[in-house]
Structure 1
Amino acid sequence: MNTELLLMIGGLSLLDTLSPATLGITVYLLLTEKKKVGLKLMVYLFTVIGFYFSAGVAIKLGFGFLFEVFSTFLQNRVVSWMLFIVGGILFIWSFYVPKKKKSTYTSPITKTNSTMIALGVTTSLVEVGTALPYFTAIALMTNSGLVWYEWLPLLFAYNVVMVLPPFILYMLYMLLGSIMQKPLKFIQNQVSKSTSSLASWIMCIVGLLLMLYSVDYL
């Protein structure tokens, strides 16, 4: 395994850190969850890591044709229009989900560990079909002829790097809580005006993702 390959894969993993879903869910949890926010965030992020890692292993073991079929399906113009319309409906609808009562800041969906796992799987399913940097990294590993004990830890490291921004954001939140209080309070107020529940937040993010990922094939 040469340095050039490691740098290329490292660069792709950094590019994959720009996931709107993981960052969006992280921000939402930090702003709205008062108890065990760290545990719930870790459950969500490790679900994302586990999903992407499993998908990467499956591709490496020869099941890549399933993802090719999925990607081809998404590139169909009719399917893309359907996804774009569904995404638009979800995005608009997210602003009309019933708002919370003034006295509390709760969600109609209970934020249990099971919910976080389901949320991690859902957002990963939406994004994995168009995870081009990830697929490129796997292709580089394959073309370089890496054996399993080389590409397996490399694949896992890629996924860890991919979710570093949410981890860093959480650490800053824990270390600089008092300093971040005002900007977080401002964001919280803005969030509460439009997407005041976990349901509306998910709908907003998934709607945007569907529109962004389908617009190229319209």
Structure 2
Amino acid sequence: MGTELLLYLGSLALLDTLSPTIIGVTLFLLLRNKSGIASRLFTYLLTVATLYAALGIGLMLSFTFILDAFSSLTEHVIVTRTLFGIGVILFTLSFFIPASKKRYIPVPKTESLLSIILIGLTTFLIEAGTAFPYFAAIGLMTSEELPMYQWLPALIVYTLVMVLPAVLLFIGYRLLRKWLEGPLERLRMKLTEQSNSVLSWVMCIVGILLILNTI
């Protein structure tokens, strides 16, 4: 795996850390000040990361099979052109995302671990449709024809980076709860109001990265 590809994948992973839903649920769990926060939060994050990893593995295996079947005809030119087209579309659409629409952030109805797992599943269903950096990363790894022993660890590390901000928030809250409660509550409110702005920027940057990579 080349250094250039690693830089692109790292940039996309960092963009995916801006998930309003994951951060929003994390803040909700932290600010409730209930016992067992650690077990509930890490159950939630493990659920989200596992579902994303499973999706990525499924897509990588499917795309690899399709490309192997048609490689003699296309030589992967179609993949490159498709990624370029997707980059142009994302870049263009990023300017048309309305900034005022509020985002629904799910919250658990009970304190049970089953409820937390269901919130993780709900987060995955909400985020997966707009996980543009994640799909772009899969597209780039597919176009580079990486063997499984390279893309599988890369995919796992990518999903761990996605949930890293939530882990850092938990550590910071544990150490500085007294000073962070107010700012974190304001951050939680901001996420619901400005999540579309985040999505717009993410789409724009992903589009640019795809265009640059395919050029």
TM-score under structure 1 length normalisation: 0.64
Deviation at 1:170, TM superposition (A): 0.5
Alpha-carbon spacing, 1:116–1:63, altered in 2? closer, same or farther (3 Å): farther
In structure 1, the partner of 2:170 is 170
Which amino acid in the other structure matches residue 26 of structure 2? T
CA 33–179 in structure 1, closer or farther in 2 if over 3 Å, else same: closer
Q: Is the 8 A contact 2:43 2:113 kept in 1?
A: yes
Match of 2:88 in 1: none
Within 5 Å, which residues of 2 pair with 1:132-211? 132-181=132-181, 183=183, 187=185
Query: For 1:133 and 1:181, how far apart are their aligned partners in 2?
Result: 30
Instruction: Give the superposition deviation at 1:12.
Output: 0.2
Contact 2:108 2:116 in 1 (8 A): no
Deviation at 1:127, TM superposition (A): 1.2
Q: Which residue of 1 aligns with 2:116?
A: 116
Shift of 1:108: 8.6
* Contact in 1 for aligned 2:22/2:163 (Cα 8 Å): yes
For residue 4 of structure 1, what is the amino acid of its counterpart? Answer: E
**Residue equivalent to 2:94:** none
How far the C-alpha of 1:37 sits from its partner, in A, is 0.3
How far off is 1:179 after superposition? 3.0
Could you give the per-residue CA deviations for residues 2-59 of structure 1, whole angstroms, max 9, x where no partner exists? 1111110000000011101001001101111410101100000110100110000110
Deviation at residue 126 of structure 1 after TM alignment: 1.3
User: For residue 131 of structure 1, what is the aligned residue in structure 2?
Assistant: 131
Q: 1:126 to 1:176 in 2, by over 3 A?
A: same
Is 1:13 the counterpart of 2:29 in the alignment?
no
Unpaired runs of 5+ residues, structure 2, are 67-100, 201-215
After TM superposition, the runs of 4+ consecutive aligned structure 1 residues lying more than 3 A away are 181-184
Aligned length: 161
Aligned counterparts of 1:178 and 1:34: Cα–Cα separation in 2: 15
Q: Distance in 1 between matches of 2:7 and 2:39?
A: 32
- The TM-score, its normalising length taken from structure 2, stands at 0.65
Structure 1 residue 131: deviation in Å? 1.1
Q: Is contact 2:108–2:115 with CA below 8 Å preserved after alignment?
A: no
Which residue of the partner structure matches residue 73 of structure 1?
none
Structure 1 unaligned runs (5+)?
66-86, 95-106, 196-203, 214-218
Given that residues 9 and 137 in structure 2 are in contact (C-alpha distance below 8 angstroms), is that contact kept between their aligned partners in structure 1? Answer: yes
Distance in 1 between residues matched to 2:122 and 2:11, nearest whole Å: 26
What one-letter code is carried by the residue in structure 2 that aligns with 1:125?
Answer: L
Equivalent AA in structure 1 for residue 25 of structure 2: I
Residue identity in the other structure for 2:14: L
Q: Is the 8 A contact 2:63 2:142 kept in 1?
A: no
Structure 1 distance, partners of 2:16, 2:181, is: 29
Please report the RMSD computed on the Cα atoms of aligned residues, expressed in angstroms: 3.2
Distance 1:181 1:129 in 2: 31
Which amino acid in 2 is paired with 1:45?
L
- In 2 relative to 1, CA 181–132 (structure 1 residues): closer, same or farther, beyond 3 Å? closer
Equivalent residue, structure 2, for 1:43: 43
Residue 24 (structure 1) aligned with residue 24 (structure 2): yes
* Cα distance between partner residues in 2 of 1:49 and 1:108: 18
Deviation at 1:177, TM superposition (A): 2.2
Identity of aligned residues (%): 43
